[in-house]
Amino acid sequence: MAASVMAGQQIEMMSAAARPQRRTESVAERNRALLEAQRKARRGPTPEVFFAKHLDNTRLVKADDPERRREMRQFTVVMSMLFVLVMVYVWQHFMAIEIGYRVEAQKQQVEQLREQNHQLRLNEAQLTDPERIDKIARQLGLDAPQPGQVVRPDGSETSAGGPVWAEAQAPAIVAR
């Protein structure tokens, strides 16, 4: 119990010393404060001694391992193939979704065009109704044509009530 109390006091002292009192406190001052806190927290007469050990690894050369290199190449190839396969699958999936959206948009457009076509046919039927045309003609003061009033472009005259025979004419050959 006493050891845990002392450890708690030691942690409190170190954290209090670790907190910078001001923002411009240098690293050297902070280290000095930490060392003082550690010195106060130490029990017994034995001082702690720290040695700085400088390691120079510049002369070390990594040994070439052909088996490891081969394994890494195989791993890279396999992972690259897996990545490509996953990307192809994802690309196909997103293309299918995009094509589905396009199909739905075109279906809606076809339905709108059908409805518009239906409306235009109804409008055409209303506008070409013979009773409506006759009514508008009477409002404008037009009457049925009198006999001899109708002149045909080919020069023939027909009576208004008489039958008309269809005639086939030979096509004219034009020489150049």
Please give the C-alpha separations between residue 94 and each of 90, 91, 107, in angstroms, as whole numbers.
6, 5, 20
The mean per-residue pLDDT over the stretch 96-112 comes to 97
pLDDT tens figures, 32-73? 888 888 877 776 666 667 788 888 888 888 888 999 999 999
pLDDT for res 163: 60
Please report which confidence band the pLDDT of residue 129 belongs to, taking 50, 70 and 90 as the band edges.
very high
Separation of alpha carbons 98 and 10, rounded Å: 65
Separation of alpha carbons 45 and 26, rounded Å: 30
Tokens describing residue 59 = 């002369």
Separation of alpha carbons 159 and 157, rounded Å: 7
- Among 176, 173, 156, CA closest to 164: 156
Neighbours of 64 (CB within 10 A): 7
Please give the C-alpha separations between residue 80 and each of 66, 72, 76, 83, 92, in angstroms, as whole numbers.
21, 12, 6, 5, 18
Separation of alpha carbons 39 and 47, rounded Å: 8
Top-confidence range, 17-21, 33-37, 90-94, 170-174: 90-94
> Is residue 85 over pLDDT 80?
yes
Separation of alpha carbons 57 and 137, rounded Å: 110
Separation of alpha carbons 146 and 149, rounded Å: 5
Separation of alpha carbons 92 and 50, rounded Å: 63
Amino acid at the residue 93: H
In the chain, the percentage of residues whose pLDDT exceeds 90 is 40
pLDDT for res 106: 98
Tokens describing residue 52 = 């700085």
> Is residue 142 over pLDDT 80?
yes
> Is residue 11 over pLDDT 80?
no
pLDDT tens figures, 162-174? 566 666 676 667 6
pLDDT for res 37: 83
